[in-house]
Amino acid sequence: MNFVLRSFAGYVLLIALAALFGYRIAVNELKPAMRQAVEELLVDCANVLAEMAAPDLAAGRAAEGAFAQAVQRFEQRQFNARIYGVPKTQPDLRIYITDKAGTVLFDSEPENIGMDFGHWNDVQRTLRGEYGARATRAEAGNPVSSVMYVAAPIGQAQSLRGVLSLGKSSASFEPFVARSRTQLLELGGVLVAAALTLALALSWWMSRDLRRLSQYARDVSVGRRVSVPRYRRGELATLSGALEKMREELEGRAHVEKFAQLLTHELKSPLSAIRGAAELLNEDMPVNDRARFVGNIRNESERMQSIVERILNLAVIEHRQSLQDVTSIDLHELVAELIAARGAELQRKGLVVENCVAAAVRVRGERFLLRQAMANLLDNAIAFSPSAGHITIAHQLSENQHYLRVRDQGAGVPEFAQARLFERFFSLPRPDTGQKSSGLGLALVNEIAQLHRGSISVTNHRDGGVEAVLILPV
C-alpha cells in the first residue's frame, strides 16, 4: 500500500471513530437534555397552576370548582399546531391535586379520585417542603410510556393545603428526539463526506512532494536530465538537497570511470602510432620517409588533442542537468557565422553552403552549446560532401517545434552504420581521405539536444545525400 492510501486509511479511521463517538455522545445526551428542558417548563407551569387552584382547594371545591372545569375544557380542546414539522392535535398533560394527606381530590383522569398518592415522590417530597418530581412508566417494559411528574405546593409552608402535580408523557417529545437523530445523521454524513474529501486532498497534497522526489530518483536512475524539485525549507528541502548531492557524487564517480576508460581506449592507437614512428626516426632513412613519419606523428598528435578536447566537452555536457545561460539566438546569424568560419575548407573542396534560415528566426537556448551542435553537423556535411557539392541549412517551424535541417549531397549512410551513428567513437571513413574522426561529434550533438529538451536524427534523404535534423522546442 502506497503512502497516499496509508495516510488516507489513517484519516478515514480517525474520522470514523470521531464520528461514531460524536454521534453516540450526541444521541445519548439528546434525550436527557430534552427531558431537562421539559422538566424546567413543567416546574413553571405547575407553580402557576397551583396558584390558580388554591382558591378552589381552600373552598373545598377542588373536584368541581372553576379550576377543575377549566381543566376539563382544556382536555376537550383540539389543536392545529405544527412544531418544527411535528403535528400536535390534542392535549398531553395530566393534572391532579392531593390534600395534605396525599389523597387525590381532583385528577384529569377521574378514576383516580380518592386514591392515596402520598407514597409517590412528587407528592411526598413536596409535602415535606422539598422539590418533588418523579418519572413513572405506564407500561413496565416500555420506556417510551414514561410520564414525567413535577409537583408544586398549594399554599405556603405554614398553611400548606395540598399539592398540584403536572405530568407530561415522554411519548409527546419522542418525535422531536427522532427528528433530531435524523438531522444528526444527515449533518454527520455531510460532515464525514467533507472530512473524507479533505483527508483525501490532504493525503494527496502530502504525498505530492514525495512523488516528485520519487519521480526525480527514477528519472536519474535511467539517465534522464531532470532538475531536482526545490523547496524553501523543512524536511523536504533537506531531502531534496541530499538527493541532489548524492546524484552529483555518484554521477561524478561514474563519469570519471567512464571517461577514463574511454580516453585510455582511444589514446592507445595514436600513442602506438607515435611510438612506432619515433622509433623508426632513430634509424637512417630517406628524407621522404622521414617526412612521412614526422607527418604521421603530427597527425596522430592532432587526433589525440581532438579526442581529449571532445571527451572533455562531452563529459561536461553529460554531467549537466539543465541549461545555464539561456538567451534568444538569431539562428540566421549563427549559421552565417559558422559558414564564414569554414570558408577556407569550403573553398578548398569547392563546396557551396546555402543559408536558407529566415532572418527573423530566433530560438532559445545556450548559444555556445547550439553553436557547437550546428558546427558538428556542418563539419560532418563538409567531410562527407563530394567536391563542388552543395550543402543546405534550413529551418522549419511546425507543431511548436524548431526543425534545423543540414543536408549534404554525399553518398549517404550505409545501412550497417545507421543504428550506430550516435555511439561514442563510432566513425565512418571520410570519402576524400579515408580517415576517421574521433567519433564523438554526433554523441556531443545528441547530448546538447537532450539538454535543450530536444532531439537529433540523421537519415538518408529520399533525393540523395544525408539530412541531419536538430529538433528544439519553441
Asked if 305 and 360 sit in the same domain, the reply is: no
State the residue range of the domain holding 408.
324-474
Asked if 19 and 157 sit in the same domain, the reply is: yes
Asked if 381 and 443 sit in the same domain, the reply is: yes
Predicted confidence at residue 2, as pLDDT, reads: 57
For residue 208, is it within any domain?
A: no
Write the CATH number for 116: 3.30.450.20
* The pTM of the whole model exceeds 0.75: no
Write the CATH number for 285: 1.10.287.130
Name the grid cell of 304: 589525440
Q: Counting Cβ atoms within 10 Å, is residue 130 exposed (0-12), middle (13-18) or buried (19+)?
A: exposed
User: Where does a domain end: 297, 322, 347?
Assistant: 322
What residues contact residue 432 under an 8 Å CB cut-off, 6+ apart? Answer: 349, 387
Name the grid cell of 156: 405556603
Residues 105 and 97: their CA atoms lie apart, in Å, by 6
Is residue 100 within 8 Å of 160, Cβ to Cβ? yes
For residue 274, is it within any domain?
A: yes
Name the grid cell of 122: 412528587
Asked if 171 and 37 sit in the same domain, the reply is: yes
For residue 207, is it within any domain?
A: no
Asked if 293 and 337 sit in the same domain, the reply is: no
Asked if 456 and 419 sit in the same domain, the reply is: yes
Asked if 19 and 56 sit in the same domain, the reply is: yes
For residue 184, is it within any domain?
A: no
Q: How many domains does the chain have?
A: 3
For residue 367, is it within any domain?
A: yes
Residues 114 and 332: their CA atoms lie apart, in Å, by 120
Residues 207 and 199: their CA atoms lie apart, in Å, by 12
Residues 64 and 225: their CA atoms lie apart, in Å, by 102
Predicted confidence at residue 384, as pLDDT, reads: 85
Asked if 167 and 288 sit in the same domain, the reply is: no
Q: What is the pLDDT along the chain (474 residues), one digit of tens a residue?
A: 555 566 667 767 777 777 777 767 766 777 788 888 888 999 999 999 999 999 999 999 999 999 999 999 999 999 888 888 788 888 989 999 999 999 999 999 999 999 999 999 999 999 999 999 999 887 777 777 789 999 999 987 678 899 999 999 888 877 877 777 777 777 877 877 887 787 777 777 777 777 777 777 777 666 666 667 777 776 767 777 777 777 666 555 555 555 555 556 556 656 766 777 777 777 777 777 777 777 777 776 776 776 666 666 656 665 566 677 788 989 899 889 888 888 878 888 888 889 898 988 899 888 878 888 888 888 888 888 888 889 999 999 888 899 999 999 888 888 887 888 777 667 777 766 666 666 677 887 888 888 888 899 988 888 888 899 999 988
Predicted confidence at residue 163, as pLDDT, reads: 95
Asked if 253 and 164 sit in the same domain, the reply is: no
Predicted confidence at residue 257, as pLDDT, reads: 55
Phi, psi of 14, rounded to the nearest 5 degrees: -60, -45
Predicted confidence at residue 115, as pLDDT, reads: 95
Predicted confidence at residue 361, as pLDDT, reads: 87
Report the b/e string of 439-451 with b at 16+ CB within 10 A.
bbbbbbbbbbbbb
Residues 56 and 64: their CA atoms lie apart, in Å, by 8
Write the CATH number for 382: 3.30.565.10
For residue 203, is it within any domain?
A: no
Nearest to 122 by CA among 172, 92, 155, 167: 167
For residue 330, is it within any domain?
A: yes
Asked if 317 and 328 sit in the same domain, the reply is: no
3-state secondary structure the chain: CCHHHHHHHHHHHHHHHHHHHHHHHHHHHHHHHHHHHHHHHHHHHHHHHHHHHHHHHHCCCCCCCHHHHHHHHHHCCCCCEEECCEEECCCCEEEEEEECCCEEEEECCHHHCCCECCCCHHHHHHHCCCCCEEEEECCCCCHHHEEEEEEEEECCCCCCCEEEEEEEEHHHCHHHHHHHHHHHHHHHHHHHHHHHHHHHHHHHHHHHHHHHHHHHHHHHHCCCCCCCCCCCCCHHHHHHHHHHHHHHHHHHHHHHHHHHHHHHHHHHHHHHHHHHHHHHHCCCCCHHHHHHHHHHHHHHHHHHHHHHHHHHHHHHHHHCCCCCCCEEEEHHHHHHHHHHHCHHHHHHHCCEEEECCCCCCEEEECHHHHHHHHHHHHHHHHHHCCCCCEEEEEEEEECCEEEEEEECCCCCCCHHHHHHCCCCCCCCCCCCCCCCCCCCHHHHHHHHHHHCCCEEEEEECCCCCEEEEEEEEC
User: Where does a domain end: 303, 322, 341?
Assistant: 322
Name the grid cell of 125: 417530597
Predicted confidence at residue 287, as pLDDT, reads: 74
Asked if 328 and 460 sit in the same domain, the reply is: yes
Asked if 333 and 380 sit in the same domain, the reply is: yes
User: Where does a domain end: 274, 296, 322?
Assistant: 322
Name the grid cell of 247: 546524484
For residue 60, is it within any domain?
A: yes
